[in-house]
Amino acid sequence: MHHGSVVIIGYARVSTREQQLAMQIDALKSAGCTKILTDVASGAVSARPGLDLALDALGEGDTLVVWRLDRLGRSLSHLVSTVDDLAARGVFLRSLHEAIDTTTAA
């Protein structure tokens, strides 16, 4: 998707309804996310409509921000596949917990 300006989208996920999204959402807002999409799903569940919407909305030069990398993938192979797909599309990734930021050269 082509935009007039850079988009920073946050994605938050909790595995049960008892867990709170608020902490993740607050951290994503503080990180400058202009839009935040969420899912309530266990790691084993493959349907993640919030993540799908986030990935579809991101274009070259945009950034996806997650609180922790394990929020992004339901398995290590799914995580690697998602990160590879983002990189191939020119989308940057930031993980707040692991201090990963592909928008910088370091």
**Active-site annotation, residues:** 15
Strand runs labelled E in the chain? 8-14, 35-40, 63-66, 92-95, 100-101
- Alpha-carbon dihedral of residues 44, 46, 47, 49, nearest 10 degrees? 100
4 is written with which tokens?
A: 């007039």
Helix axes 49-57, 76-88, angle to 10 degrees: 20
Closest CA to 66 of 34, 41, 33: 33
